[in-house]
Structure 1
Amino acid sequence: MKTRAVRLYGESDLRLEEFDMGELKDDEILMELITDSVCMSTYKESIQGAKHQRVNDDISEHPIIVGHEFAGIIREVGAKWKDKYQVGTKYTMQPAINIKGSMAAIGYSYEYCGGAATFIKVPPIVMEKDCLLPFDENSAFFEASLAEPMSCIIGAFHSMYHSERGVYEHKMGIVEGGKSALLASCGPMGLGAISYMLNCDRKPSLLVITDIDEVRLKRASELFTEEYAKERGVEIHFVNTAKVDDPVKTLRDLTGGTGFDDVSVYAPVRPVIEMADEILGFDGCLNFFAGPVDPKLSAMFNFFDVHYKMHHLVGSSGGNTDDMKECLKLAGEGRLDPAVMITHIGGIDAQIDTILNLPKIPGGKKLMYLGKNLELTAIEDFEEKGKTDDRFKELAKITKEHNGLWSKEAEDYLLANF
């Protein structure tokens, strides 16, 4: 049983290899993978090798398959699971399988199970923990791939909380109909957060988006127009905080001077964190979402307001299985479009260079089609490539019809023609 996969052997030592995984056991499932989106966590894991807390110490002898944002089709089911899983059905996976006393996760710790592969053997622990998740047969594979990063966003909003003075009970989630701000949030994860906040069941009445990159901010405002937000009952504003004299005053003025109920920070930058603190209102919750590389990152936080104005801080990293299920449901209903996160597509042969150079590649999510050999290509470059390749000419046409975004139509065309 052969597969083609990207495996990690050591620090920055990734290899694309074809190898035999052995026979399928009765308690395993064979999946053909179609898509895998590349996460910054995979970059961090790849440069750290065995030093990473989730990576096994013996990867030089037993390399692991990287990647954890994937979707595919079940091709063979071991006898133990015949009554629950059917051949030919579409599935994605919750990689954080939550084994007590272990940091093991899919894409970090398993020899034959990870996202950067044409075929994988799903270990029994995944099924036992109910981490193999079906998605709508009419949904695109890329939507299911992005359910994992979207679940991190969803989990962040679920982790925020509020309370009443003298009542010792936390009310989980953002304030429904409240005032929310997403700071430094026009990158891929920030765009996913905007999409979720405008389409979930617990929306704010006011949503303010900030960034200092005018190009990214303009693109976000084109994807999520005032009209689009208004149709969903939300007043939306986009602010370039680098172009205003007093960003804190500008942002607080948008709330009528009350400050925000919920503020999320999407860049691990001290001034952004401190700005978030300063714009909180009474019982305001600050969510530090951005994952820092610097273990000594710190910032000032007003403890007078913690004491007298009930300000509080939460941090979140990753989502749970229910968060992924929520994303898959919303995407299947057409209420959530994870495509806003994608800026590049490629094939499995482009995966190593993409992973190792990820911080240097501009744009959002890089989506890889695992059964294809295809250099990493920005969606905005389709038209230029289309001058010499009719397939990219057609992809340029399709993406233009979808507001410059990747889509199921584009995916279907790629799978059929590349």
Structure 2
Amino acid sequence: MKTRAVRLYGSNDLRLEEFELPEIKDDEILVEVVSDSICMSSYKCAILGENHKRVPKDVHENPIIIGHEFAGNIVKVGKKWQNQFKPGTKFAQQPALNYKGSMASPGYSYMYFGGDATYIVIPQEVMEIGCLLNYEGDAYYEASLAEPMSCIIGAFHANYHTEMGKYVHHMGIKEGGKMAILAGAGPMGLGAIDYALHCDRRPSLLVVTDVDDRRLERAEQIFSKEEAKECGIELIFVNTKNIENAEEYLLNITSGTGYDDVFAFAPVKAVVEQADRILGRDGCLNFFAGPTDTKFSGEINYYNVHYAATHIMGTTGGNTDDLIESLKLTEQKKINPAVMVTHIGGLNCVAETTLSLPKIPGGKKLIYTHIDMDLTAIEDFEEKGKENPHFAALAEIVKRNKGLWCVEAEKYLLENWK
């Protein structure tokens, strides 16, 4: 079977190509990819090429398919897995394989296994460790976005707290505690707000900071204080850009006690140091955003580490249980991963979008692999609709849905776009 895919040949070298897939073996599965969400990790992979720790050194001779936040339909199942998977059903994918200590992952390491393609072959190790999941949700994009949501869920689970005089770690954010999400109005921050409001272990106070008024306004439109109150949470948005002493301001919100859980959602020295300064006793700082600078660092208060039991950890992805939780919460309509999405595009725009990702404003860029469509901001649908009736229809659909991508929009796109 022929596939159309975006392949990495080396640093800054992405190519959209059509080529033949090998016939699947008895322990492999052929799938159709329908949607893939472009991750900042793919940008890092694309600019580093063979210097990336997950990319093979011979990638210039054996190119890999990029993209790891994907979902679609099962097409053909090898004999080994026919009791577990059926053709014609939907699937979701956990890309963090960690198979027998290997760093290999879809979107980084495989010639025929990655998200920015029309058809791919899933190797046996994926099924062996339970990373291919049957999916029964309404929309493909929700399964694609389950992966970034699982990273957020994993971060919340990985935080921990202690008891004075006892050598125990209580895993997870502090229930009923005070939480801050710094640089939190971006796509992953919005997902974190959604999860904080609707998970089974919630803070009583949630403060979200950013330095961009437009992003904060969008966050407030999506998550109202009234909705948060119904969830038992006081939700406060703060633009720290023009506040003379932002740490003091944020501490005053807590009446001086500091925060139990602080998430730093940008790899910026000032953000990380601010996160450390607003921790309360036994406060946990989660450095969520991965830097590209291998020497990235920032100052922390070791006095507080010693006497106030403050502590730091970092998370980079979620596990399969986190992905399953993400899918279940989405299927139950408790969380809405679409809050992360600001742009829609087709396979033709993947290479340019990936290489330019840090320069493109907004949140997640959602790709539908079987269409050609220039990357388009959802907020631009209405303007483009003046010349293209399909954009006009999409604009009307998302307008009825708080300006968010939705099941109806996806269905319309897949049925009407060439």
- 1:404 Cα deviation after fit: 0.5
Letter in 1 for 2:8: L
Structure 1, residues 109-156: CA drift from partner, whole Å, max 9, x if none?
A: 11111000000111000000100012224x211010011111111111
Q: Tell me the matched-pair count.
A: 417
Letter in 2 for 1:16: L
- What's 1:107 paired with? 107
- 1:218 Cα deviation after fit: 1.1
Residues 114-153 of structure 1: pairs in structure 2 closer than 5 A:
114-137=114-137, 139-153=138-152
Residues 6-405 of structure 1: pairs in structure 2 closer than 5 A:
6-137=6-137, 139-405=138-404
Where does structure 2 lack aligned partners over 5 or more consecutive residues? none
1:134, 1:234 → 2: CA distance?
34
Letter in 1 for 2:215: R
1:372, 1:315 → 2: CA distance?
37
1:11, 1:256 → 2: CA distance?
50
- Range that drifts further, 150-159 or 122-131: 150-159
Structure 1, residues 343-394: CA drift from partner, whole Å, max 9, x if none?
A: 0000001111111111111111000000001111000100010001111001
- 1:243 Cα deviation after fit: 2.5
- What's 1:414 paired with? 413
* Residue aligned with 1:268, SS: coil
1:62, 1:370 → 2: CA distance?
22
Letter in 2 for 1:368: I
Where does structure 1 lack aligned partners over 5 or more consecutive residues? none
1:398, 1:58 → 2: CA distance?
46
- 1:10 Cα deviation after fit: 1.2
- 1:305 Cα deviation after fit: 0.7
Letter in 2 for 1:71: A
RMSD between aligned residues = 0.9
User: TM-score normalised to the size of structure 2?
Assistant: 0.98
Structure 1, residues 208-249: CA drift from partner, whole Å, max 9, x if none?
A: 000111111111111111011011111100011113222112
1:17, 1:27 → 2: CA distance?
26
1:329, 1:375 → 2: CA distance?
32
8 Å Cα contact 2:30-2:122 kept in structure 1: yes
1:295, 1:27 → 2: CA distance?
38
Q: Which stretches of structure 1, 4 residues or longer, exceed 6 Å deviation after superposition?
A: none
* Residue aligned with 1:243, SS: coil
* Residue aligned with 2:415, SS: helix
* Residue aligned with 1:284, SS: strand
2:86, 2:116 → 1: CA distance?
23
2:268, 2:156 → 1: CA distance?
20
* Residue aligned with 1:416, SS: helix
- 1:100 Cα deviation after fit: 2.4
1:31, 1:262 → 2: CA distance?
40
1:126, 1:99 → 2: CA distance?
8
Structure 1, residues 317-357: CA drift from partner, whole Å, max 9, x if none?
A: 11111111110000000000000100000000111111111
1:178, 1:15 → 2: CA distance?
48
User: TM-score normalised to the size of structure 1?
Assistant: 0.98
* Residue aligned with 1:154, SS: helix
* Residue aligned with 1:203, SS: coil
- 1:166 Cα deviation after fit: 1.2
Structure 1, residues 175-232: CA drift from partner, whole Å, max 9, x if none?
A: 0111100001111111111111111111101000001111111111111110110111
* Residue aligned with 1:334, SS: coil
Structure 1, residues 14-38: CA drift from partner, whole Å, max 9, x if none?
A: 1111111121211111100100010
1:225, 1:369 → 2: CA distance?
30
- 1:60 Cα deviation after fit: 1.7
8 Å Cα contact 2:85-2:134 kept in structure 1: no
* Residue aligned with 2:261, SS: strand
Structure 1, residues 286-344: CA drift from partner, whole Å, max 9, x if none?
A: 11111111222211111111111110011111111111111000000000000010000
2:79, 2:271 → 1: CA distance?
53
- 1:81 Cα deviation after fit: 0.6
8 Å Cα contact 2:71-2:140 kept in structure 1: yes
* Residue aligned with 2:373, SS: coil
* Identical residues among aligned pairs (%): 59
2:391, 2:311 → 1: CA distance?
49
8 Å Cα contact 1:135-1:332 kept in structure 2: no
1:136, 1:221 → 2: CA distance?
31
Letter in 2 for 1:367: L
Letter in 2 for 1:376: L
